[in-house]
Structure 1
């Protein structure tokens, strides 16, 4: 590890001006989020040229893909917490060893996920009650994405490790290149332009895994060549079962919570599809727009995670709490502005993607009953959840996530949609209520302060002795 560079960034994170440091860490992440969402919007735009069924395929696929990817993301979160807290405690050698263990573990785990995911896709899509019109598109898209999962996990590990050190710029530079590659490949492979094969929806998926693979190769090179703050050697990448056990201990609750939530969205997809292709298409486009307009909030929350991890490692708990509170205020304001903009320009923007009067009409219901809750999710729930994850208190994050989705969103959406309103209004109202209630619970738990404790405490004591 390039200790002087990491140490300098660490000093700013644990001692510098909060707002200035937060912005410095956040702006590359904001750019990265916008780039990613622009890709999703571009993907939606091109698939919309094929038709409503093709446009819905990625929206159907990602809850399923996310269910298995979330297992790995939980372990990546644990690795992020360990590396960040070791740096905060100025234990740089241990931070580097933790990074190597995480990187090797994630690639092994991702290979297993790819095989399992590829095999279960047909059964999962049937379970989700995907309509016959959408099914073939979703099957093709999802299976191709699963084939490239190991490379997606590899780049995810690289991004988490860089963010733990305070380096938020390097992953963004790589993402900028890979997303640009993806955007170029999309129309070429979807429509067969300039001699490329015409693959339709499968072409969009293939463009994604080619881009992910390129990013993972670049990230691996930078880590192994010592071109970034962390320098991994072959020794660092050897299986370390004792540290794997620590990652599992901290990461398993996060993995269970994240995968349970992702599977919850599989169930939610089944519920939404009960009201037809029009409702699901409106939901897909609307959420893509929200993701674009709330990219700033998500980037700030991710930057906050780096500051929380290192300040917890340095045992500066009061400062960590202050960082989280300021992030909540900023994110709530920004998300509110974003939803207001969607409300004002909804019809015009929808016509760009899919000029379907039925879908545009349905989008008004999504806005009225669901999207007004997004500021509470982005400004409170998401921030508190990130505080719990970054501090290594993943059980709290797991409980919050399961409460929001399984305790509130799914039952409320089903009961209100199918038994009270008897329409999609009930589904989206249930989704909105889940955000309001879960955010209130998260805020109360945050102020209780039980997350203000290091997960590396035992290791530091051993070193001192």
Structure 2
């Protein structure tokens, strides 16, 4: 099995596109599933502490989701720059980009972390929760602030390996970080053995230590070396130009992430107003099921970004284009199959998440799962089309597409469905699926037009001139 997952770096620009995508994406799929497992286990341990502990951490989830934009931006910027330089066989410059990206990630995360640590109480207070929940949430967020620079730096090291074409290294880093977190959770929450009983902040501290151990492990692998990716003192050359390029590529991705997360918060607010507790429960169930269903597409997107970047660096624009479309087909077909299964058993899935729900609540959740399933193919296609643009350094296009999808289509359609058409919360559910389909069709047409008019050829020229400089 391990031999089947072996991949020479040259295969990324010469081998079978479906096989290379699958081999690169497989470890990333497992990595994303491990992250989902971490969230579930964290919740289980905190549930044994108190109901307020679970509520407090749930309160911080949207905040932490917004803060993760720092790590997303620096990691994508680093991945794309490393992949293009490796594709151009500029391995030294690729390693230098990894070092500069890690520094940018840590510094940006440190600045954000300091701000969060200072303002944690004020930020949590905006939600107007009960006194105990607010106190727990503020303590959790203030402790988590120390994880932000480590998270950003660790994610950037992972992205450097992915850009190089070594997705298994990224998986190993993530597994070490998550395993450390999960092992420390009960010790720091409940004060097992020689550890202090820290309660809710103990869960956050376990996350901090987990990211720190993962980052140290990843840095050790990078220094020791894997498949030519071996950092040396010569690579530790901090250059303003590299930092600028990483920020230039990565900031639209951070903006894209902030835009989608903010719109999701707005959707939750709208669902709560229109649908009440039953509508909010249905929307939450759909979001949780979808988060698991989209894991393969997210892994495939990360793999495709590296493939597209390396092929453009290797001056193979047509292969980069074919990589994107092959990925679109694989993701669309795969998520269509997932959607068909979800459409067939929505009641079962709903009761799995909320076993004590009433028949009416189960039916509403099942209806949302069915409506979501109609647009699963479009979500898969959108992820891969964004990979095609991102790999060509066109991250601003992905940002504009996300703004259009969430703010121009989803929220207005949801409002129109709920109030103008009188569909209530079901109209909001249809707004989600319609926006997904519109985004996929629009982005697909635009990608076809841009590649037909030379987008990838221009990306090759940019990568070549950068390599020559």
Distance 1:124 1:291 in 2: 26
Q: 1:317 to 1:183 in 2, by over 3 A?
A: same
Distance 1:244 1:339 in 2: 41
Deviations 1:304-362 (A, max 9, x none): 22111111112212212222212112212222232333445555555555433156455
Match of 2:405 in 1: 404
Give the C-alpha shift of residue 384 in structure 1. 0.7
Give the C-alpha shift of residue 440 in structure 1. 1.2
2:461 to 422, 438, 457: 457
Task: Name the SS of the counterpart of 2:355 in structure 1.
Answer: coil
Give the C-alpha shift of residue 226 in structure 1. 3.6
Q: Does residue 394 in structure 1 map to residue 398 in structure 2?
A: no
Give the C-alpha shift of residue 414 in structure 1. 4.1
Aligned 8 A contact 2:342 2:373 in 1: no
- How many pairs does the alignment contain? 457
Match of 1:438 in 2: 439
Distance 1:270 1:230 in 2: 46
Distance 2:135 2:423 in 1: 29
Q: Does residue 321 in structure 1 map to residue 321 in structure 2?
A: yes
Distance 2:134 2:416 in 1: 26
Q: 1:282 to 1:179 in 2, by over 3 A?
A: farther
Task: Name the SS of the counterpart of 1:357 in structure 2.
Answer: coil
Match of 1:339 in 2: 339
Distance 2:339 2:144 in 1: 31
Deviations 1:73-96 (A, max 9, x none): 223212211111111111122212
Match of 2:301 in 1: 301
Deviations 1:83-142 (A, max 9, x none): 111111111222122121111111111101112233444555565676889655544443
Deviations 1:130-167 (A, max 9, x none): 68896555444433333311111111001100000110
Aligned 8 A contact 1:56 1:281 in 2: no
Contiguous gaps of at least 5 residues in structure 1 = 1-7
Distance 2:73 2:240 in 1: 18
Match of 1:429 in 2: 430
- Ranked by relative contact order (alpha carbons within 8 Å, sequence separation 6 or more), the top structure is 1
**Bigger Cα displacement from structure 2, 332-341 vs 153-162:** 332-341
Distance 1:374 1:452 in 2: 28
Q: 1:389 to 1:26 in 2, by over 3 A?
A: same
**Bigger Cα displacement from structure 2, 357-366 vs 130-139:** 130-139
Match of 1:4 in 2: none
Aligned 8 A contact 1:392 1:454 in 2: no
The equivalences for 1:31-180 within 5 A come to 31-47=30-46, 55=54, 57-58=56-57, 60-125=59-124, 135=134, 138-180=137-179
Distance 2:422 2:190 in 1: 41
Deviations 1:393-432 (A, max 9, x none): 1111111111111222233334544665474323322222
Q: 1:52 to 1:132 in 2, by over 3 A?
A: same
Contiguous gaps of at least 5 residues in structure 2 = 1-6
Q: 1:436 to 1:129 in 2, by over 3 A?
A: farther
Aligned 8 A contact 1:404 1:434 in 2: yes
Give the C-alpha shift of residue 367 in structure 1. 1.2
Distance 1:54 1:276 in 2: 24
**Bigger Cα displacement from structure 2, 401-410 vs 281-290:** 281-290
Distance 1:424 1:200 in 2: 38
Task: Name the SS of the counterpart of 1:315 in structure 2.
Answer: coil
TM-score (norm 1): 0.86
TM-score (norm 2): 0.85
Distance 1:122 1:280 in 2: 26
Match of 2:3 in 1: none
Q: 1:415 to 1:183 in 2, by over 3 A?
A: farther
Match of 1:211 in 2: 210
**Bigger Cα displacement from structure 2, 22-31 vs 362-371:** 362-371
